[in-house]
Amino acid sequence: MNPSNQKFFSPYTFNNGVQLKNRIIMAPMTNYSSNPDGTVSEEELAYYARRSKDVSMVITACTYVTPNGKGFHNEFAGDRDEMIPSLSQLAKTIQSQGAKAILQIFHGGRMCPPELVPHGDIVSASAVPAEVAGAKTPRALTETEVEEIVDAFGETARRAIEAGYDGVEIHGANGYLIQQFFSPHSNQRDDRFGGSVEKRMTFPLAIVEKITEVVKEHADDSFIVGYRFSPEEAETTGITMADTIKLVDTLAEKDLDYLHVSLQHFLSKARRGVEDVNKTRIDYLLETIDNRVPLIGVGSIYSAEDARKAFETGVPLLALGRELIIDPDWVQKVAEGREDEIVTEINKDKQEELVVPGPLWNVIMNTPGWFPGV
């Protein structure tokens, strides 16, 4: 092994005492491949098994916490107890390969396709449509409904515990409901859930608190709870880096085991709300967190050299997403000193060899620019 890559393979211990065998994690990625009844498919199990051997932790694709939170076609369900056996199958598949299994839980809010939710009733923090073509105007949730969704996050965390997962990740990123409440673009409420940046944190923090309570009641200290966030929004009135710094500073004081930033490019720079636009978002985040909780970095890490540059920033953990679809043996190759053999563009003729479910493969092949080589 290249001595410069030793950092990748040193163990990492969370504040709760749980140890990861190395610093490389599989990032959560939607795969559009579950069964029509919301159970995990055989194709998905094979896909995860192929990628769970060498990483220390696998964060699954998101699962929805309420029927009106389903954000993707063929997404597996976590909104009812009947799904526990299916969820358990996925946890065991990941763990059998030697990785920790983390269930990502979410609500799609205004980003849910109307045909996937009961009566097409799309909901959000406020009646503000997303700035995308054809977006429907959602219905603003009542305070009671907001509280019910907070409880639903807690219930899905309980199901994850009963299904044998090592932890859950709260999906507060990528424009879904939790982010919709934090965003001044999508949250124009005048009750306790809207207004100032502090009030817009009310819903995300209520979910963190609820899940913390559930874990204390149903699990032990080894159960991991993480939170994923997006640092900025493209909309002029959307989340700025300054808003996110306040959120992250608050989250770092909560009973969370890690924070996970969602980035397209690891070394991307802040757009708005901070003085030094030449500083990367990762730099701002690490400075704000100040070692109180580990930050998982992510974003277009294809080669071992990309990973080395990422670790040089001081980020303790690194998630690989598209990279592990392109080359499921990425970690093994680096460990064995074969980093020059890492494949960095998807091979269009190797779907079967790469063990990628058909629906996910079709999306990749029909989305130019998402994956290198397409």
Question: Mind telling me the catalytic residues?
Answer: 176
Alpha-carbon distance of 143 to 71, in angstroms, equals 22
Q: Are strands 12-13 and 19-20 parallel, antiparallel or unpaired?
A: antiparallel
Q: Which residues contact 1 (CB under 8 A, 6 or more apart)?
A: 9, 334, 335, 336, 337
Pairing of strands 258-261, 139-140: unpaired
Q: Cβ neighbours of residue 6 under 8 Å, at least 6 residues apart?
A: none
Q: What's the distance, Cα to Cα, between the start and end of the chain in Å?
A: 31
What are 126's two structure tokens?
Answer: 């406020």
Structure tokens at 263: 């980035």
Quickly tell me which residue has 């932890």 as its tokens: 167
3-state secondary structure 13-62: ECCCCCEECCCEEECCCCCCCCCCCCCCCHHHHHHHHHHCCCCCEEEEEE
* Helix or strand run (H / E) with residue 179: helix 177-182
45, amino acid identity? L
φ and ψ of 37, to 5 deg: -85, 5
Cβ neighbourhood burial of 264 (10 Å; 0-12, 13-18, 19+):
exposed
* Overall size of the chain counted in residues: 374
Q: Is residue 318 within a helix (H) or strand (E), and if so which, with residue range?
A: strand 317-320
Tell me the C-alpha distance between 69 and 180, whole Å: 13
Cα dihedral 319/324/328/331 (nearest 10): -30
